[in-house]
Amino acid sequence: MIRQAVAAIGLAALCACAPTLHTLEPYRSDPDAARALEAHARESCASGPDGPRALPAKPFVTDGCSLWIDDGWGEPCCVEHDVRYWCGGRAPARAEADAALRRCVEERSSAGLAWLMWLGVRMGGHPIFPTWYRWGYGREYLPWYGEYPACTEESTDAAQCGP
């Protein structure tokens, strides 16, 4: 029975499904805070370092510091990291998102903890893993670091091209 439960949890962890609800307060219980954060995520993605591009099909949600202890100091760092990971993009954009997380955690806690979290996201957040916290988790599983559709003046799907 225990082995079956562990296997079920392991399979769920490897699922490419993205969560559909915020699990972090205040976004879980405050619709206005959730809408403001979701608008920030859409705006950040639409004007990201790779240039204007179509927004992910899956809605933005955050769970704070995925697979890590959320204790207040790290939440702002992890939520912003989730914004960047939801959107995805090229490999250099991921490296910068992870470096920004490291800098934020170091400012709020310690260099040692920042390094551990950086190492965790560099290893565990790779887009090759079909997890809910991978790079580009708001998009379909493939392409991993591929090109996402650019948004131009001629784009026909305005809902996918910005806030």
> pLDDT per residue over 24-62, tens digit each?
888 889 999 999 999 999 999 988 777 777 899 999 999
Contacts of 59 (CB under 8 A, 6+ apart): 20, 38, 138
CA–CA dist 31, 54 (Å, integer): 24
Three-state secondary structure call for residue 150: strand
* Token duo for residue 101: 């997380």
pTM score above 0.75: yes
- Class of residue 37 by CB neighbours under 10 A (exposed 0-12, middle 13-18, buried 19+): buried
Q: Comparing 47-51, 52-56, 99-103, 148-152, which segment has the lowest mean pLDDT? A: 148-152
Radius of gyration of the chain (CA): 16
CA–CA dist 22, 159 (Å, integer): 21
The listed range with the strongest mean pLDDT (53-62, 77-86, 150-159) is 77-86
Q: Comparing 9-13, 45-49, 134-138, which segment has the lowest mean pLDDT? A: 9-13
